[in-house]
Amino acid sequence: MKKSMAEKRLIVDMQPIGRRIDVEPGQSILEASRTAGVGLISLCGGEGWCDSCRVRIASGEVNPPSQSEMDTIGEDQIKKGFRLACQVIPVSDVRVDIPPESLSTPQRLQVEGKDFEIPLAPIVRVVDLELSPPTLEDLRADAARVRDALADHGFLESRLELPVLEDLSEGLRKNKWTARFILREGELIAVLPSGVDIFGISVDIGTTKLAIYLVNLLTGEIVEKVGEMNPQIAYGEDIVSRISYATENPEGRQQLQMVLVDVLNTKIQELCTSSGINQDQIVDAVIVGNTAMHHLFTGLPVGQLVFAPYVPALNAPIDFRARDLGIKMAPGSYIHLLPNIAGYVGADHSAVILSTDLWNTKETVIAIDIGTNTEISLVSGGRILSCSCASGPAFEGAHITHGMRAAPGAIERVQIIDEELKIFTIDDQPPVGICGSGILDVVAEMKSANLINEKGAFLEDKRYIRKGKKNNIELLLVPGENAGNQQDITVSRKDVNEIQLAKAAIRAGQDILLKEAGIQPDDIDQVLVAGAFGTYINIANAIKIGMFPEIPLDRFHQVGNAAGMGAIQALLSVEKRNAIEKIIKQVEYIELTTWENFQKVFVRAMYLN
Amino acid sequence: MKKSMAEKRLIVDMQPIGRRIDVEPGQSILEASRTAGVGLISLCGGEGWCDSCRVRIASGEVNPPSQSEMDTIGEDQIKKGFRLACQVIPVSDVRVDIPPESLSTPQRLQVEGKDFEIPLAPIVRVVDLELSPPTLEDLRADAARVRDALADHGFLESRLELPVLEDLSEGLRKNKWTARFILREGELIAVLPSGVDIFGISVDIGTTKLAIYLVNLLTGEIVEKVGEMNPQIAYGEDIVSRISYATENPEGRQQLQMVLVDVLNTKIQELCTSSGINQDQIVDAVIVGNTAMHHLFTGLPVGQLVFAPYVPALNAPIDFRARDLGIKMAPGSYIHLLPNIAGYVGADHSAVILSTDLWNTKETVIAIDIGTNTEISLVSGGRILSCSCASGPAFEGAHITHGMRAAPGAIERVQIIDEELKIFTIDDQPPVGICGSGILDVVAEMKSANLINEKGAFLEDKRYIRKGKKNNIELLLVPGENAGNQQDITVSRKDVNEIQLAKAAIRAGQDILLKEAGIQPDDIDQVLVAGAFGTYINIANAIKIGMFPEIPLDRFHQVGNAAGMGAIQALLSVEKRNAIEKIIKQVEYIELTTWENFQKVFVRAMYLN
């Protein structure tokens, strides 16, 4: 019996995305979707105690629901066919409907940053050469012939290493000894047909999202940009759970590395296809990410990042050959990672400092890159102070009753005007949940409309406020009949508290940096708010709930993916690359968790003004 | 019918080596033995026109003999169960007897060279450090902490790259922040427990054999040395057939590279086990080989080596990380390859020039490294002239009727004293064939005893000379009743001619170098004869047949594996490594094939004095 099962692989038809995947007997739909590269959200890492991977079994037979499913999603929903993908095991071919909020793609990604102009001076250089072929009178080895010709063109003492040598002899003969040679710091890294363009890629590896840019290195033009989910989400939603996975599983670190490498290769290939170029024409790359992403991508150890004093394995910038990780670019090309600042202030924040010109300003400027971890840098009086705030995933929709990512159908704007509640969803789809900017609006508007007090406590007997099923007080944001999934969308006191915790962390970071610099909020000339979430939020509402200090609105600038822009700058200018390396050494990192009055500052920041 | 065959894998039991291997239906025993790593000799590359892969089917069913088998080994032998492994396809489980001469191992390997003394100054340096662990007051990244400590010990601006960083954090914590750090040209390449020894390996990759040395880099001691067959033999006996294989098969080049990598890894592991050390303690390697072996090992293209003007892809010395090829040494360790001189004068000959001090001598010295290709260098009047002679595999036993490698049972010495023929075999085993030194003796002794004339023609009516089966004249060296395999061991006129061709090539090379230098044989102060074959030959006999010029015997020195010794010198002394790079640039390579009077010189060299 067991044997005949083992031989039969079952098919899971996933809708609406239209993917058909194989399932091994005994494998859960979540496991199968990981293998197949379908991005199902799994906040608890597949342990059945959250409902983020909720799916509906449309047809086919599956195992009976587990107790944790009964507890988590309830009997009513199970009767309607809902199950947790991590718990449900097909016993026949099945068809599964995936609600938008369970699917990690598609969704809106931030790939655009503030415009910038920098001198074009990439690390790679180009030279077109016509070589004389070998004869009995000129028996120089192919490598020596190339080296001599490069020397004639001023590239003295160039190095030719294995990755390029492997194809050099055939390439020279095929191209009849005429080719475009690409050099990087004296090393020949690619040999291309004469006259072709060369490109670089910049990548911002976020904990949840990747932004990938294809850039023409001869013109500086951003040819194309794509976003993609971080495939590591399948192994844990946040950094700590991924580090656990990496350290507790024998091949965990390598697995987390390889899923990143795979998705990068896929994206590179897509970019090449859509731009009509060859992978060999991609001759350089700059990658940024927080310290954990930086380490997991490069294969560095991460265990020490979760134990005090949270030191990185490496802060310094690092270069290695793309092919050392199997990244499909020109054979000899390198990947550059910007320096990290601390265990929780990574290369992505170095990129923010770079692209915002923070390091160059004479003003007092604070840059805030909001995410699951929020990094803040304050420039004041010639000092750069940086810290990291554990703002948590609430603004990504996690830990919020009806929270979701910024996907179609997410409520992204909320207004309460004259006691009338108005919602706006992404792509104007029927509402299915609330994303970060929406929940921030909810809290701000509830406070303005006096539905909650400054501690986040709900005031009863107000319109939209009701008793929930478990006798708790809640805000009814969207009644089930208006919702895309026929369920009431509500906001609980706990949800409001989650937002208070998140914004308090961010505010406490700002307050402590100001104290360290010995200045007042009003001394700040500019507040730069970076990141996808930071770009979409209503700044006035963020001030209203006390996430930012109360200073004039025109001092705030939403600068988009400043990290990605920093990566592009470092790609286009070796001077920028060198500059940030120096700057980072001057950054004063402030560890908040051991800062003397942190707790006091944090509790004060919890108040909704 | 076909399907059921495809499902059943047959077993081939190989005796006397005691290996049982799987055969896929339709696969020849030769193919199966390649897959299983059993070293069957296959001179013709499995095409059925030589008999080097002769085996005996002891039991089981096989396909009927092919026409080429009938032609090559004859009906008599086929009746006795002999077949060619490349032609015979099992149809049931079979037991196969492999005669010693068909098995490429075990056999005597040359791993000892001339002794030498050089100053011990390897490229790697060692420093023991005790680091202070991170605290909240000292949040330096692990890499920065190490870098700072190295700087305190005079290693300024050291580089820490991925291979070492991957394990650094855990290693430091495990060793409680005390460790032995290994640096190479400013790069940290390994972190070991305090006080352990460090080692390097030197490898001479010959077309047929590998010699591998484990060397203590702190004492200079050669800890252990092992020999092994070149596993590429399974893909072709000589360089040209391997290059064909590499260029004609899609993955050919990579396959030939990977079998070398695999055998090196196996040998490294064996050396570590027998010496009680860890692979991480092997922190450097120097590898030499002829140009084709050099290119096939590094993965460089070889196609151009078989077309005039036979230029290498690379002559310059090259370093790359061991792990780029998957060679299991310390994580960040490098492999260094000495420079090549020309398409057929490779890094092994550079090593000969190095270890023989040829580059340093004021005398007139000629160094001859005899193999399938024989490389010769002449130092005279401040010049170094080098050439390559296509001496062929006759001295390896190939193309000789009863030729075999220098394995047990091979006739290695022959004397004819007072018309009495005496033979000596390796390990005093019953004779099964003749190896290179034996066949050289045969020719010299036959000439002295007037059994052949100076053209190699047999003189009839002499003792031991008889009419062979095909009516040809031959020398009966060992009658079947005295032979290990019950077969007559004979020497034909063709065999003598093969030796004449081989020795003529070697002699012509010497003569042309002398002419180029404008000197006479008697001007030579020393003749250094290198290589395994060169070590075992009777020099007087080699002079007698005209392989070497007639100069006093005491000017000849048999220097053993001078190539391997050069590799060890380059391992122990970075100065030697640098010296040979410079010397090689001064070498004048003489291309014999286009040398004006080559044909004339060669024909004259054919004479047996």
Angle between helices B562-572 and B574-586 (to 10 degrees): 120
Residue A289's nearest CA partner among A76, A567, A581 is: A567
Both tokens of A455, joined, read: 């501690």
DSSP-derived pairing of the beta strands B489-492 and A526-530: unpaired
Q: How many CA atoms lie within 13 A of B572 on its CB side?
A: 22
The topology under which CATH files domain B355-392+502-606 is Nucleotidyltransferase; domain 5 (3.30.420)
Q: Is it the case that residue B219 has pLDDT exceeding 50?
A: yes
Q: What's A24's DSSP letter?
A: -
**Closest CA in chain B for residue A134:** B309
* B157 interfaces chain A, CB cutoff of 8 Å: no
**Closest CA in chain B for residue A343:** B141
Both tokens of B469, joined, read: 């089966």
Angle between helices B347-355 and B291-298 (to 10 degrees): 120
B residues 260-299 closer than 8 Å to A (CB): 298-299
Residues 6+ apart with CB under 8 A from A600: none
Q: Is it the case that residue B229 has pLDDT exceeding 50?
A: yes
The pLDDT assigned to A1 comes to 37
Verify whether the Cβ–Cβ distance B135 to A309 is below 8 Å: yes
The pLDDT assigned to B16 comes to 64
Q: How many CB atoms lie within 10 A of CB A500?
A: 23
B residues 171-190 closer than 8 Å to A (CB): 173
The helix/strand/coil state of A11 is strand
SS in 3 state form for A474-526? EEEEECHHHCCCCCCEEEEHHHHHHHHHHHHHHHHHHHHHHHHHCCCHHHCCE
pLDDT, tens digit, 9 for 90 and up, residues A368-385:
999 888 999 999 999 999
- Confidence (pTM): 0.78
Q: Which amino acid is at B269?
A: Q
Sheet containing strand B82-84, strands side by side: B19-23, B10-15, B94-97, B54-59, B82-84
Q: Are B33 and B57 in contact (CB under 8 A)?
A: no
Q: What's B241's DSSP letter?
A: H
Residue A179's nearest CA partner among A171, A170, A187 is: A171
Extents of the domains making up chain B: 2-102, 105-337, 355-392+502-606, 394-499
Average pLDDT over residues B295-306: 95
ipTM tops the 0.90 cut: no
Residues 6+ apart with CB under 8 A from A404: A100, A101, A397, A410, A432, A433, A434, A435
Verify whether the Cβ–Cβ distance B298 to A139 is below 8 Å: no
Distance CA(A520)–CA(B342), nearest Å, equals 74
Intrachain domains B2-102 and B355-392+502-606 with the same fold = no
Q: How far is A256 from chain B (nearest CA, A)?
A: 14
Distance CA(A436)–CA(A394), nearest Å, equals 7
The pLDDT assigned to A106 comes to 40
Residue B508 vs residues A182, A570, B521: alpha-carbon distances, Å? 45, 61, 12
DSSP-derived pairing of the beta strands A420-425 and B365-369: unpaired
The pLDDT assigned to B116 comes to 56
The residues that bridge with A558 in the sheet, in sequence order, are: A529
The pLDDT assigned to A384 comes to 97
* B80 interfaces chain A, CB cutoff of 8 Å: no
Both tokens of B183, joined, read: 């640096």
Residue of B165, B188, B295 to mutate, testing the A interface (most A Cβ within 10 Å of its Cβ): B165
Residue B192's nearest CA partner among B124, B132, B139, B264 is: B124
Both tokens of B69, joined, read: 């088998």
Q: How far is B167 from chain A (nearest CA, A)?
A: 7
Q: Indicate the length of chain B as a whole number.
A: 609
Both tokens of A426, joined, read: 């992404």
Both tokens of B537, joined, read: 């030959």
The helix/strand/coil state of B29 is helix
pLDDT, tens digit, 9 for 90 and up, residues B387-439:
999 898 888 888 899 988 888 889 999 999 988 999 999 888 899 999 999 99
Both tokens of B277, joined, read: 């050390």
Q: Are A85 and A53 in contact (CB under 8 A)?
A: yes
pLDDT band for B17, please (50, 70, 90 cuts). Answer: low
Question: For A361-459, where are the alpha helices, taking DSSP H only?
Answer: 436-448
Q: Are B301 and A169 in contact (CB under 8 A)?
A: yes
> What is the rounded radius of gyration, in angstroms, for the C-alpha atoms of chain B?
27
Angle between helices A291-298 and A239-248 (to 10 degrees): 30
DSSP-derived pairing of the beta strands A383-389 and A374-380: antiparallel
Transcribe B488-537 into DSSP letters.
Answer: -EEEEHHHHHHHHHHHHHHHHHHHHHHHHHT--GGG-SEEEEESHHHHHS
* A326 interfaces chain B, CB cutoff of 8 Å: no
Transcribe B374-421 into DSSP letters.
Answer: EEEEEEETTEEEEEEE---GGGGTTTSTTB--S-TTEEEEEEEETTEE
Spell out which residues of chain A touch residue B314, defining contact as CB-CB under 8 Å: 141-144, 160, 165
Both tokens of B523, joined, read: 């001007």
Q: Which amino acid is at A35?
A: T
- Name the least confident of A535-549, B97-111, B561-575: B97-111
pLDDT by 10-residue block (mean), chain A, 609 residues: 54 73 86 73 67 85 88 83 90 84 49 58 94 92 95 91 93 93 96 94 93 93 91 87 93 95 96 96 98 97 92 96 96 97 97 92 95 94 95 86 87 92 92 93 95 92 87 92 89 94 96 97 96 90 96 93 94 94 95 92 92
Distance CA(A7)–CA(A23), nearest Å, equals 11
Distance CA(B484)–CA(B487), nearest Å, equals 8
Q: How far is B301 from chain A (nearest CA, A)?
A: 6
Domain B2-102 = CATH 3.10.20.30: yes
Residues 6+ apart with CB under 8 A from B292: B207, B239, B242, B243, B302, B305, B346
Spell out which residues of chain A touch residue B166, defining contact as CB-CB under 8 Å: 299-301
Average pLDDT over residues B558-565: 91
Distance CA(A21)–CA(A38), nearest Å, equals 9
Max CA-CA distance within chain B? 99
Report which secondary-structure segment, H or E, holds A588: strand A588-589
Both tokens of A373, joined, read: 């971890």
The helix/strand/coil state of B598 is helix
Domain B105-337 = CATH 3.30.420.480: yes
**For the ranges A26-30, A239-243, B255-259, B371-375, the one whose mean pLDDT is highest:** B255-259
* B151 interfaces chain A, CB cutoff of 8 Å: no
Q: How many CB atoms lie within 10 A of CB B178?
A: 13
Task: Label residue B360 exposed, middle or buried (CB < 10 Å: 0-12, 13-18, 19+).
Answer: exposed
Distance CA(B215)–CA(A509), nearest Å, equals 57
CATH number, domain A347-392+500-606: 3.30.420.40
Distance CA(B365)–CA(B70), nearest Å, equals 50
pLDDT band for B110, please (50, 70, 90 cuts). Answer: very low
Residue A209's nearest CA partner among A406, A437, A426, A498 is: A406
Verify whether the Cβ–Cβ distance B170 to A303 is below 8 Å: yes
Question: For B299-417, where are the alpha helices, taking DSSP H only?
Answer: 347-355
Residue with structure tokens 């399974």? B234
Question: For A124-251, where are the alpha helices, taking DSSP H only?
Answer: 142-152, 162-174, 239-248
Whether the bond into B106 is cis, omega within 30 of 0: yes
